[in-house]
Structure 1
Amino acid sequence: MSNLQISLAIAGGAILAAVVAYNTWTSRKNEPRKPEPEPDSQQAGTDLTDPLARREPGLDAALVDPLEPAQAGAAPAGLGVPLPVPERKPGLDSLIDVIAPMTLEGVVSGDAALAASPHTRRAGSKPFAIEGLNESTQHWETPVPGQRYGAFQAGVQLANRTGALNEIEFSEFVMKAQAFADAVNALPEFPDMLHEVARGRELDQFASDHDAQLTFSLRARQAAWSPGYVQQNAARLGFVPGVIPGRMVLPSTVAGLPPMLGLTYDAQAAMADDPEQSALRDISLHLDVPQVPRSEQPFRQLRQVAQALAEAMDGVVTDQNGNLIPDQAMDAIGVDLEQLYDALDSRDLAAGSPQARRLFS
């Protein structure tokens, strides 16, 4: 073999090696980022006083659905943090409910009341409820077996996110309430339909004018993310898995309240046979403003979470149209939200209150 042939063979081998190396580098660069193993020492040093440092619970912790109230303390489960006392389930309220009182000739047992209650707890798209005045505690409550009740009241919600109570729904409410009253030998007193429907429309208009559901997108700058990589980074900030694939939530600090924030990504990627080979280029962060108490400073949390994830995952924060959100825009949103909170407070519908959570649902 001549010197020229040897030189060409060496050059060809070098070029081939370079091409293979480049292809390998490109392939690795374009692979979705995967979660990294974390030493136990990192977890032991987590500061639980910082809401952005709360860790994911152990695998034995209950999953939290973002559509249901979150379990307080879920993020630091198993780490010795005392859990708050669960909030008492709210009852009927004349502020957002039509209420029909029912008088009784005698006392009715909880078992009889439950047997007489309608099978469905809705009138059209509006929640319907029966409450009894407990003879022992003198508190209104949903009838309970073994208890005795000296009066009842039926109620239907005036408005929710499906709209205002209409005449058909009011009529269905009357029919269900009357059937219950007949079964327990009670005399109901129904308010005027036109007045209540008008009240529902006015409340629905106020709710529509003061509803706010914020969504930020986090988009990858370069390499895509695997679902595990997203979960790992979100868990470092206190998010826990939701029941629905592709969803995580940041639990409230108060038991029984809805999650403070939600995080979603492609459900198909989460359910793939090999999720770590799925490539995510964006995720969404959500804040349902009326559902979360103002005292929790949820928008500040949203900004901090978005910024922390962007820095950790090499992403950028955008609106739903892909436009970058500068700090000035974030500040303006914060000012608008403070005005929204004030308006809700003035109507006795403070964000995160039982009434607001029911109205904005």
Structure 2
Amino acid sequence: MSSFTIGLGVLGGVVLAGVVGWNAWTTRRLTPRQAETVERTEPVEAPPPQEPVLDDGALMATVPPLPVPERRPGLDALVDALAPIAVEAPIPGEAAIAALPATRRAGSKPFAIEGLNESTNHWETPHAGERYVAFQAGVQLANRLGALNEIEFSEFVMKTQAFADAINGLAEFPEMLHEVGRARELDQFAGGHDAQLGFTLRARQAAWSPGYVHQNASRLGFVSGAIPGRMVLPASQPGHPPILVLTFDTQAALAEDPTQAAIREVTLSLDVPQVHRAEQPFLRMRDAAMALAEGMDGVITDDNGQVIRPEALDVIGADLERLYDMLESRDLAAGSSLARRLFS
């Protein structure tokens, strides 16, 4: 065999090895990153609910007590148009419940009726077995769908009057134009002080599988939400909205073979007025985004795909502090029951 033939054989082997290596590298690059399999030899106690345990110090597991004073939940003249309903004698809760309207909305605005409990002297939604010496109806002045309008106010009046007639009560209504004017002013304030932040985490190279996203987010305290492709960082107070929400492609989450579902981006969002300031939500959002970017080989961008620099995050944080101050100055502190109602 000539040296030329041997050389061709060697060259062919090198080329073949190169092709095989290239195919292997390409296949690995295109295969979504998978969650690591962790073998456990003994049961591990789960962390207490609502107190996520976070590793690597990315987020603090212990959340400080919430010092924001909570106004009484329920109807409030600050965000509701109210109509008192007088009665001649105490009304049983069963009778009040039977007289309640079928729906709890007037147009796009929440509508409610409360009774003054004879024994506790507290306003509450009517309950069976209780007696009520007075009632009040209320309709919310504004929400994220806009301000209360004349048509919605008229529906509020009709529903309230029907309830009053059913219990033989006397309703007294506020002046419509005054309440509509209050609604517009409140809506204008809310529109100028609403904030919903979002960061997009994009994969630098290999895509992620749903399991890989879940594993990395779980290390930061996120838990699965009720909707596929959604994870949440729970609030420290049970029943409160989540601090942060992480979302990714629903179809990928529902794929028959999740290991082959490719996710190239996830979104981390914060609904500012819904979360107490004391939860330090933006700090935790920033730390979570940075931890996920480092752990998943991703980059933090805005909705337009522009990379967000650390100095830009500092500016956003300073702006949020001013927003918190403005909300508190109007007795609408972020995370309070009234703020959660107004910004919904």
Give the TM-score, by structure 1 length: 0.86
8 Å CA contact 1:341–1:351 kept in 2: the answer is: yes
Matching residue within 103, 126, 151 for 2:109: 126
Matched residue SS, 1:325: coil
Q: Percent identity?
A: 65
1:324-360 CA distances to partner (integer Å, 9 max, x unpaired)? 1111111111111111011001100000010000000
Q: Is the aligned partner of 1:233 residue 2:233?
A: no
Q: Assess, with a 3 A threshold, how the Cα gap between structure 1 residues 24 and 341 changes in structure 2: closer, same or farther.
A: same
Note if contact 1:47-1:53 (Cα within 8 Å) is conserved in structure 2. no
Partner of 1:321: 304
Q: Which amino acid aligns with 1:359?
A: L
Residue 47 and residue 127 in structure 1: after superposition, are their counterparts in 2 closer, same or farther (change >3 A)?
closer
Secondary structure of 1:128's aligned partner = strand
Q: 1:132 to 1:46 in 2, by over 3 A?
A: closer
**Structure 1 residues 358, 130: CA separation in 2 closer, same or farther (over 3 Å shift)?**
same
Partner of 2:180: 197
Are the counterparts in 2 of residues 46 and 53 from structure 1 also a CA contact under 8 Å? no
Aligned-partner Cα distance in 2 for 1:40–1:135 = 58
Which one-letter code corresponds to 1:127 in the other structure? P
Q: Determine the structure 1 residue equivalent to 2:146.
A: 163
CA distance in 2, matches of 1:295, 1:243: 26
Pair 1:27 & 2:23 matched: no
Is structure 2 residue 256 aligned with structure 1 residue 273?
A: yes
Pairing partner for 1:293 from 276, 280, 286: 276
Structure 2 partner of 1:53: 54
Q: Tell me which of 71, 84, 91 is aligned to 2:74.
A: 91
Paired AA for residue 178 in structure 1: Q
Q: Distance in 2 between matches of 1:97 and 1:269?
A: 42
1:109 aligns to 2:92 (yes or no): yes
- Give the Å deviation of 1:16: 2.2
* Deviation for aligned residue 1:231: 0.8
For residue 15 of structure 1, what is the amino acid of its counterpart? Answer: V
User: What is the CA–CA distance in structure 2 between the aligned matches of 1:139 and 1:315, rounded to whole Å?
Assistant: 53
In structure 2, the residue matched to 1:36 is 36
Distance 1:155 1:45, change over 3 A: closer
SS of the residue 2:136 aligns to: strand
Distance 1:282 1:136, change over 3 A: same
Deviation at 1:13, TM superposition (A): 4.0
Aligned Cα root-mean-square deviation (Å) = 2.6
Name the residue aligned to 2:335. 352
1:208 paired residue number: 191
Find the residue that maps to 2:312 and give its secondary structure.
helix
Aligned residues: 332
Using the TM superposition, give the Cα deviation of residue 21 of structure 1 relative to its aligned residue in structure 2, in angstroms. 2.7
Runs of 4+ residues deviating >2 angstroms? 1-18, 38-52
Q: Which amino acid is 2:264 matched to?
A: R
Which is worse superposed, 42-51 or 120-129? 42-51
Shift of residue 30 of structure 1? 1.8
> In the aligned structure 2, how far is the partner of 1:146 from the partner of 1:318?
56
CA distance in 2: counterparts of 1:226 and 1:47, whole angstroms: 25
Unaligned runs of 5+ in 1: 55-74, 77-86
Deviations 1:111-162 (A, max 9, x none): 1111111111000000000111111211111111121111111000000000
Amino acid paired to 2:140 = Q
CA contact (8 A) 2:71 2:337 kept: no
Instruction: Give the distance between the partners of 1:276 and 1:198, measured in 2 at CA.
Output: 56
Distance 1:42 1:348 in 2: 50
- The Cα shift of 1:45 comes to 9.9
1: CA distance, partners of 2:314 / 2:5? 69
Partner of 1:17: 17
Q: Determine if contact 1:216/1:319 at 8 Å carries over to the other structure.
A: yes
Match of 1:82 in 2: none
Q: 2:222 and 2:43 mapped to 1: Cα distance?
A: 15
